[in-house]
């Protein structure tokens, strides 16, 4: 949580600092989201976007990186960034 309070970070960034696999980070992020709600704070998710056509995944609720762009079907997707407000 301290890392996310300082600056936005991707799951890959967090996994490097925490020494965990990237796929293990997502359940922890969900837990952080619920914990912050009780404290009247929130986990900010800067959404993924397609690197090919620029589509932004605004309404996505899942924290993981999408597999394909629904517009151009490209698999070149930027990672979502997380921060705490």
Q: What are phi and psi of 48, to 5 degrees?
A: -70, 160
pLDDT at 1: 87
pTM of the model: 0.87
Distance of alpha carbon 67 from the chain centroid = 14
Is residue 48 within 8 Å of 80, Cβ to Cβ?
Answer: yes
Look up residue 35 and give its two tokens. Answer: 């914990």
What is the C-alpha to C-alpha distance for residues 23 and 26, in angstroms, rounded to an integer? 6
| pLDDT tens-place string over residues 7-40 | 999 999 999 999 999 999 999 999 999 999 999 9
pLDDT at 85: 87
Cβ neighbours for 19, distance < 8 A, ≥ 6 positions apart: none
């Amino acid at each position: 949580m301290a890392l996310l309070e300082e600056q936005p970070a991707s799951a890959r960034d967090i996994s490097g600092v925490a020494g965990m696999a990237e796929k293990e980070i997502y359940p922890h992020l969900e837990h952080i989201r619920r914990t912050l709600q009780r404290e009247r704070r929130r986990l900010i998710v800067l959404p993924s976007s397609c690197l090919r056509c620029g589509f932004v995944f605004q309404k996505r609720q899942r924290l993981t990186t999408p597999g394909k762009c629904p517009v151009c079907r490209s698999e070149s997707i930027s990672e979502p960034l997380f921060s705490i407000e």
